[in-house]
Structure 1
Amino acid sequence: MMTSHLTTHVLDASAGHPATGIDVLLEHKDGAGWTEIATGTTNDDGRIAQLGPERLASGTYRLTFAVADYFAATGTATFYPEITVTFAVDSDQKHYHVPVLLSPFAYTTYRGS
């Protein structure tokens, strides 16, 4: 069985640069609800190179990006204080990359490579 691992990247589309210092929470859905797996903070390039364990089991996960503090630090009002992205993992897939393109009043995400 292959190893599944998770990376993420946040770009501030309104400012045209990486979004640094955003706290990100990774959770896994189980019978009791959501269980925290890992936390991380985006680096100077807006990335978290490895979030969570080296191997993710199959199942449903979610990433929560705490963007309110990021926008507050720049003096920018935002409509979304946090962004939550829920996605499915197949442990036979090697790599999951979840990028977010961010602006104060919109965001876009997709499965990256």
Structure 2
Amino acid sequence: LSAAPAALRGLGPDRLAALAELAEVIGWILFDAGRYRRAHRMNARALALADLCGDRWTARLTLLNHSMLTTHTGRPRAALAAAARAAAGPRPLPARVAGLVLI
């Protein structure tokens, strides 16, 4: 995960999706551990990898996690922007998830 996401393009979509999911989980663990700057960087990495392979669901989950992180660190505008990006997309979010986004 230390390479720039674009440098990993040759891995193929399945491996990129797996790396995106791994980065999302690492970002969540870092957030939970109070390592907010590292969590922010890992969320950015997860989002870049998810976008690179077209994994919209991991991208949306990462954006929701990032929204919680930015809320927690006192950046409400950034939190709303991340939540709005998560809610937007070619397919609607499941009703329960959409309800959580609105909270």
Q: TM-score normalized by structure 1?
A: 0.27
Q: Which has the higher contact order (CA 8 A, sep 6+)?
A: 1
Higher strand share: 1
Find the structure with the greater CA-based Rg: 1
Higher helix share: 2
Q: TM-score normalized by structure 2?
A: 0.29
